[in-house]
């Protein structure tokens, strides 16, 4: 473990992948860390997501295809991108900015910004595992994006070329339907075209984040579950962190990594970017053809990942209040989309139905770095890529906090932009 003149006592708000990764890498720099979470470890978007470690596909969420959905589509309960008809003024402001960033030119600029941190994604996972986190990442022997027709597949092939043109490495192979079923027998006969993606991985996200939390504790850190941070204030020589029902505690530095709730604590420190919940849904089902890697249906925006002998099926981007209850219509929509495309999966035997809120920004780029306070930092807004980019975010931000120098990879993600 390295030591230096960086802050000795650091509070991290948020016990998901981003917050715990930041805490772990701060420990590498000699910091004494305390992690707060209003609920528990991995209780938010870190638990039930698809678990992909796919830097090759970590692209900005605002993209030209979003504009093609149209108002009628996004208001439909069965649409993979859903906006409630009673959207608040705040949500409408977010969506207006999201739409402005969904042009080809802005997507390309944002993609170029993500390429350097994407390159740190898998090595940062390796650093965690080599450093004692008792969990594994799995190579995706078969990561298949499947389509009914070759015409549908054209959209992904075009996107892959745009990704590569921006500087992101991504290797792939084009398959027909029979070839795809030989690689991933869980695909039904309706699949007529596919793309096999190389060099990606996946994890069981809840298990990995809990193992990360255990490692933080084993190395002397503290985790305070059920401790909702209500206020962070600058005080002489550091910050004071106040939780519901208790007095303030003093730290040298605080990191706000509280997902969709980041803005509530960070706004007083100059972070004005809207962070909106883009809620995803998932469940697991038994299947007699468990694939050895993820299966993705891009046209339906449904992701399937093998976990514990079952298949986790995930999808939806529902722009809604993060505290709203699970909407069973979203589950039904995912089932209806996946049923004709999967073979051997019992979609009626569902377990672990879940909804979690991904923290999304209007420009599709995360917020990582310093705020107006010299003692407060932000880390969040990763959209769908909080698992993939969480450890890289933690590594780079910990370096910045410990040394006082911002790594070049973080330049595009200024929380004050």
pLDDT in tens, 67-80: 666 555 566 777 77
* Confidence band of 66 (pLDDT split at 50, 70, 90): confident
Q: What's the whole-number mean pLDDT along residues 362-373?
A: 98
What's the pLDDT at 303? 98
What's the pLDDT at 287? 97
**Given strand 52-53, what is the order of strands in its sheet?**
52-53, 201-202, 138-139
* pLDDT tens per residue, range 304-358: 999 999 999 999 999 999 999 999 999 999 999 999 999 999 999 999 999 999 9
Q: pLDDT > 70: what percent of the chain?
A: 96
| pLDDT of 26 above 60 | yes
| pLDDT of 88 above 70 | yes
Q: What's the whole-number mean pLDDT along residues 186-203?
A: 98
What's the pLDDT at 1? 45
Contacts with 250 (C-beta within 8 Å, 6 or more apart), sequence order: 9, 235, 238, 239, 240, 241
What's the pLDDT at 171? 96
CA distance 20 to 212: 7
- 184 vs 95, 191, 338, 341, CA distance in Å? 37, 11, 15, 12
Q: pLDDT > 90: what percent of the chain?
A: 91
Cβ(316)–Cβ(48) below 8 Å: no
| pLDDT of 91 above 50 | yes
Backbone angles phi, psi at 224, to 5 degrees: -110, 95
* 74 vs 362, residue with greater confidence: 362
What's the pLDDT at 72? 54
Q: Chain-wide mean pLDDT for the chain? A: 95
What's the pLDDT at 351? 98
* pLDDT tens per residue, range 262-316: 999 999 999 999 999 999 999 999 999 899 999 999 999 999 999 999 999 999 9
* Confidence band of 3 (pLDDT split at 50, 70, 90): very low
CATH number of the domain located at residue range(s) 1-62+101-140+199-270+361-417 in this protein: 3.50.50.60
Q: What's the whole-number mean pLDDT along residues 378-395?
A: 98
Domain boundaries, the chain: 1-62+101-140+199-270+361-417
| pLDDT of 82 above 90 | no
pTM over 0.75: yes
* Confidence band of 196 (pLDDT split at 50, 70, 90): very high
């Amino acid at each position: 473990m390295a030591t230096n003149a960086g802050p000795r006592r650091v509070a991290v708000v948020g016990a998901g992948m981003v917050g715990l990764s930041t805490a772990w890498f701060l420990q590498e720099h000699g910091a004494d860390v305390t992690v707060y979470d209003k609920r528990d470890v991995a209780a938010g978007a870190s638990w039930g997501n698809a678990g992909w470690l796919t830097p090759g596909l970590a692209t900005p969420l605002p993209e030209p295809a979003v504009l093609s959905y149209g108002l009628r589509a996004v208001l439909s309960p069965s649409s993979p991108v859903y906006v409630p008809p009673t959207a608040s003024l705040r949500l409408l402001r977010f969506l207006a900015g999201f739409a402005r960033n969904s042009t080809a030119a802005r997507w390309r600029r944002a993609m170029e910004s993500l390429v350097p941190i994407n390159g740190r994604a898998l090595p940062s996972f390796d650093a965690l595992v080599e450093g004692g986190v008792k969990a594994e990442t799995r190579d995706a022997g078969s990561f298949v994006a499947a389509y009914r027709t070759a015409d549908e597949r054209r959209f992904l092939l075009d996107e892959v070329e745009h990704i590569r043109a921006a500087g992101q490495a991504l290797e792939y192979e084009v398959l027909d339907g029979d070839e795809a079923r030989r690689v991933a027998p869980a695909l039904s006969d309706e699949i007529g075209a596919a793309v096999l993606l190389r060099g990606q991985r996946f994890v069981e996200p809840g298990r990995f984040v809990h193992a990360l939390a255990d490692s933080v504790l084993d190395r002397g850190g503290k985790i305070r579950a059920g401790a909702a941070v209500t206020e962070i204030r600058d005080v002489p020589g550091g910050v004071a962190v106040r939780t519901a029902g208790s007095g303030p505690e003093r730290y040298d530095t605080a990191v706000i990594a509280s997902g969709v709730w980041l803005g509530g604590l960070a706004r007083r420190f100059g972070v004005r970017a809207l962070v909106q919940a883009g809620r995803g849904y998932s469940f697991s089902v038994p299947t007699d053809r468990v694939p050895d890697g993820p299966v993705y249906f891009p046209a339906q925006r449904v992701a399937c990942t093998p976990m514990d002998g079952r298949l986790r099926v995930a999808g939806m981007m529902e722009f809604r209040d993060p505290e709203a209850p699970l909407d069973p219509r979203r589950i039904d929509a995912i089932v209806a989309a996946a049923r004709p495309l999967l073979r051997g999966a019992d979609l009626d035997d569902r377990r672990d139905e879940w909804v979690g809120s991904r923290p999304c920004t209007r420009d599709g780029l995360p917020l990582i770095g310093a705020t107006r306070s010299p003692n407060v930092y932000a880390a969040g807004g990763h959209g769908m890529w909080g698992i993939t980019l969480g450890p890289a975010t933690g590594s780079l931000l910990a370096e910045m906090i410990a040394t006082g120098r911002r790594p070049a990879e973080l330049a595009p993600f200024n929380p004050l932009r």
